[in-house]
Chains A and B, each alone.
Chain A
Amino acid sequence: MRSALPFLARVGWVLGALAGLLFLSGCDLKFWRMDGHQSTMIVEGPVARSQLSLFYVTCWVTLVIFILVGGVLAYTMWRFRARTEADERAEPPPQSHGNPLVEISLIGASVLALVIIAVPTLTAIWYTYDVPEAEKKNAYEVTATGHQWWFKFEYPSEQAAVDSAGAKAPLVTGNELVIPAGRPIRINVRTIDVIHSFWVPKLGGKIDMIPNRANFFWLQADKPGYFWGQCAEYCGDSHAVMRFRVIALDEKDFAAWKEKQLALARSVAVPVAPVAAATPVTALRTFKTNEVGVSEAFDRNPLEAWRAKQAVEKVENLALVAQGRELFAAKTCNACHAVRGHGAMGVQGPDLTHFGARSTLAAGLIENNPEQLRRWLRDPESVKPGNKMAKAYRDNKITLSDAEQVALTAYLLSLK
């Protein structure tokens, strides 16, 4: 058996190397490029860039040490291994005990290598901590609050209309944070329940949302773009599907977006006569557990998809919208959700005043289109296990018929 081993090992190495080459040539190269939507390696803001360049410093320093030490280790293993039976039986080598000079110089070298990492680390700690002094005046402030399992975004400097009487309150949106590009954004992070963490990899590292702790940090998008974010601290059942988006717009687009958002929810004219004999509603297809809810078209150009959502839907059945608005109250959706101007003032769930203008729903999980919205309304538990809306359905015995789903969908998508 013993003689077979080196041969087997060699064959194993050759096969392994061949398999590795085949694998490298054939596989999805994205894996090595690390250019996904949540890449920390291809970044689009100064905070993330400073973190990335620090990462490269650590990476190169450790890689060089690894090559040096690993080289010596590999040489030692090759040079001093017992090659033959005779080698193994030979007298033991000289019993030396160490060499203080070698050891002290190696310790010195390690300390030196660490200093190379330490200096940029300290610089970056201070840089990433808060908006630089020179930019403070230009900084735009928002507050992000984590909920199980969605994000609330508040704009303390923007006063939005709350009712037709002219009352105002800071603008609140959910799950999609719209920011001006090219300006530092100072984000206060809060939580309503457990610890969450705010992470938009392309714009900056994460910061935890901890109860009884007023954390903040800052980030900036170089240019307009659409960025993926995700909760990065385990926060219960649906932690994995607690996501969000950041949309950076140039100054003009941002102002336009803001103006729309500050207004009350859009109300459509109710048709005088109800539409007779509406076409029968077909049942929604069944979805697999955890089925993906974002289309490829959306994925190719998400920013355009987002812009498209700002306009009123091309096909709009006003009767259905009106029916949906009634259902929104009848099914007690308004107990948890706010729709400014429509009499819905709930605060437990995301503010839906301009829901139709968002590109995603269910905390950035699925695309905001009629099919996915119906999927969510029909059975929120299957989309996001353990969520409060599903619990409210169970506790209050709320069910939605196919027709009701369609009507609510039409209403919600009309909220531009």
Chain B
Amino acid sequence: MDTTAKTAYLTKDDAVPAQPKLLAHPTAKAGLMSWLTTVDHKRIGFLYGVFALFFFLVGGFEALLIRAQLMYPNGTVLSAQMYNTMFTMHGTTMIFLAVMPLSAAFFNYIMPLQIGARDVAFPRLNAFSLWTFVAGAIVLNIGWIGPIFGVDGHNAPDAGWYGYSPLTSKQFNPGHSVDYWVMGLQLLGVASIAASLNFIVTIINMRAPGMTMMRLPVFTWMTLITAFLIILSFPAITIALVELMMDRNFGTVFFEVSGGGMPILWQHLFWVFGHPEVYILILPAMGIISEILPTFSRKPLFGYPIVVFSGACIGFLGFAVWSHHMFTTGMGTVATAAFALATMAIAVPTGVKIFNWIGTMWGGRLMMRTPMMFALGFVWMFMIGGFSGVMHSAAPADTQQSDSYFVIAHFHYVLIGGSIFALLAGIHYWFPLMFGRKVSEFWGKLSFWIIFVGFNVTFFPMHFLGLNGMPRRTFTYDPNLGWNTANYIASIGAFVLGLGIAVYFAVMIYTYYKGEKVGRDPWDGRTLEWSIPNPPPEYNFRVIPTVHDRDAFWYEKNHREQIAAERAVAEKAEGAHGGVHMPFNSIWPLVAGFGLLIVGIGSTAFDAKWDVPGIHWKLGLALLGGLVTLVGIYLWSLEGNEGYHLHLDRDGKPVKGHGDDHSHGKQ
């Protein structure tokens, strides 16, 4: 490294290198500005988690309103239009604003730690993904001003989470709600794709020495596969949304029936995205479970290669089964048969995972701690959801089940019993690592049991409701159809589930402030994230570890002398090289994301008519927002890829004002 390069590290004693004032690097280490300008993958992951959990509660509240409406036949809690808004926003919120970002929170926080990296490959792009996600979430929800403040024509989206054309056309949905939905999802897509590219580059390039692909922790593998699913599937919905936007605003006829458009095209485009999306929601969950079960069984994962391979297989087959969402659209015999068989085929790699999880526990020593409880709950519930999924693959039987409560039961078993249970397990599992505190076993298990019971009481009866002919998305039903008892039980269950979630959150918040403090590696972990102190220092690893085996940290714990010797050599080399290299904070990703927020609101909230002032606002704000984004990106690129170096004392604390730093200048 060129030691004569311009010094550019930030400590109290060193002058910031000469820069135009605008480009001065933000230096806040605490407070609001430090969060707005952060590029630290752990802080970004934490923020993803906070936003996701907030929207999880919002979506849950919407669900409780739905269940309140359906508790009795001919319910009057919500109007028809409001009910339709609730189920649309419940679905959209839970998928795009709760489960996906919560998975992204773990990708961000845990994945770099698992591969022995100090950050993701593009820290500022990571911040940009976060703020763009927030912008998308705001645009998606901005329509609530209609019902809440009584503004005409501005409602929250109410066309269903899969927005089937032509119900989304200007003719049948003249207000702005669909525009918010389109632009909100579009921004979320930008955020997801940027984040996924980041994760892929990180996993491929930034693994610690010796961390071969077949030594990657399974959670990291699932991150990689999920990231690929996102970058391959989101373009389909991006195209569909652009076409819908053009139909609504510029008079094109992609889906416009009167112009010869094909509404069925929307369904294909949507589900080519939508089915891989299902695996985008479940694969991270499977990754978390594949970490927790070995840890608490104190055994390595059973059949690691086949678990990884089956994950990839699911990802691959996930692109070949989209039309099983369309068995009632009259696809004809051959297409229906092909998609039915492909759907059955995908059950095999899914089943393999279950077998391997059981194999992992077999002969182990199962420590029934809270994360393990949630993980076992996951395995049971996911099995039930998987089996009803296999039932759906029998296309003719599915024509009775599709769009009925049987389907509702099925996908809540895989999404709550699956994804959410795994994510809640992950929070418990990694909480000690993130915050250095541990949830009390009693309260953790109590919340698990309330959630588990509430969940089953809510969704198990829905199987019967669906087979008894209750269609989904109905704001009311008559008492003479035999659905009263099951609906009543489901609603009671929903309130129990809500109580369980409330307990879970209360316990988490209490633990964050007052919980029992724990030392490093409280679970006797197996992967590298447990090898660092908690909460993790900003630089993650004092010395980049060298990996010798699949469960890298387990190996370290059993080969302490060898590892210590290696560390000493590596530390010396790194010290000679200039210390721990850290990236500068930056405000520009936030600015770029904020510009997208202006574009999102400007282009959707105003009518595109030449004879009203709306068009000036619409064009003006869209152009202004685009400009802000461009300026943000431009200044971000002017910042260059500089960073600074940390020198650590024996306790791992950065040494202030160390004299002879060799920083990376512009390279």
Contact = CB atoms under 8 A, between A and B. Distances in A.
B479 interface: yes
A212 B253 CA distance: 13
Contacts, number: 338
Given A106-B355, A121-B394, A121-B395, A38 B468 contact: yes
Nearest to A35: B482
B366 interface: yes
Contacts of A41: 467-468
Nearest to A233: B403
Contact of B473 (A92, A194, A195, A240): A240
Contacts of A96: 299-300, 302, 363
B299 to A, nearest CB: 6
Main secondary structure of the interface of B (DSSP, over half): helix
B390 interface: yes
Contacts of A122: 337, 340
Contacts of A38: 468-470, 481
Contacts of A110: 347-348, 351-352
Given A66-B383, A93-B364, A99-B359, A207 B257 contact: no
B393 interface: yes
Which size class do A's interface residues fall under?
35 or more
B342 to A, nearest CB: 11
Nearest to B442: A1
B365 interface: yes
Given A12-B449, A125-B395, 15 more contacts: A5-B445, A38-B468, A39-B467, A54-B394, A97-B302, A103-B355, A106-B355, A114-B347, A117-B394, A118-B340, A212-B263, A213-B329, A234-B160, A236-B84, A240-B471
Interface in A190-211: 193-195, 197, 199, 201, 204-208, 210-211
Interface string A48-80: 101110110111011101100110110011001
Given A103-B355, A110-B348, A234 B473 contact: yes
A239 B167 CA distance: 12
B298 A232 contact: no
B306 A1 contact: no
B150 interface: no
Nearest to A106: B355
Interface string B324-348: 0000111011001100110011011
A235 B167 contact: yes
Contact of A40 (B257, B364, B467): B467
Given A1-B442, A66-B384, A194 B396 contact: no
A326 B337 CA distance: 56
Nearest to A61: B390
B73 A232 contact: no
A187 B229 CA distance: 40
A368 interface: no
Contact of A55 (B336, B361, B400): B400
Contact of B396 (A66, A121, A386): A121
B442 A58 contact: no
Contact of A87 (B355, B358, B365, B482): B365
Given A77-B376, A95-B300, A110-B347, A206 B403 contact: yes
Interface stretch (A26-34, A154-162, A163-171, A340-348): A26-34
B145 interface: no
B336 to A, nearest CB: 5
Interface in A361-410: 385-386
A5 B446 CA distance: 9
A208 B328 contact: yes
B81 A237 contact: yes
A290 interface: yes
Interface in A90-129: 90, 92-100, 102-103, 106-107, 110-111, 114, 117-118, 120-122, 124-129
Interface residues of B, number: 109
Interface stretch (B27-35, B271-279, B483-491): B483-491
Given A81-B368, A195-B167, A234-B167, A241 B476 contact: yes
A194 B169 CA distance: 9
Contacts of B418: none
B26 interface: no
B166 A211 contact: yes
A50 B474 CA distance: 27
Contacts of B453: 16
A292 interface: yes
A238 B484 CA distance: 20
A4 B486 CA distance: 34
Interface string A118-152: 10111011111100000000000000000010000
Contacts of A195: 164, 166-167, 263
Given A206-B402, A232-B404, A58 B464 contact: no
A194 B171 CA distance: 10
Q: Which of B304, B404, B446, B482 has the most CB of A within 10 A?
A: B482
Given A102-B359, A125-B396, A206 B328 contact: yes
A240 B481 CA distance: 14
A99 B303 contact: yes
A216 interface: yes
Contacts of A59: 391
Given A54-B397, A58-B397, A210-B263, A93 B299 contact: yes
B399 A5 contact: no
A28 B81 contact: no
A103 to B, nearest CB: 5
Task: Name which of B359, B380, B442, B472 has the most chain A CB atoms within 10 A of its CB.
Answer: B359
In the A-B complex, the 3 residue pairs with the smallest Cβ-Cβ separation, listed nearest first, are A38-B469, A205-B399, A36-B482
Contacts of A291: 74
B325 to A, nearest CB: 11
A252 interface: no
Interface in B468-520: 468-486, 489
Contact of A128 (B361, B399, B403, B483): B399
B151 interface: no
Given A5-B445, A36-B482, A66-B387, A114 B345 contact: yes
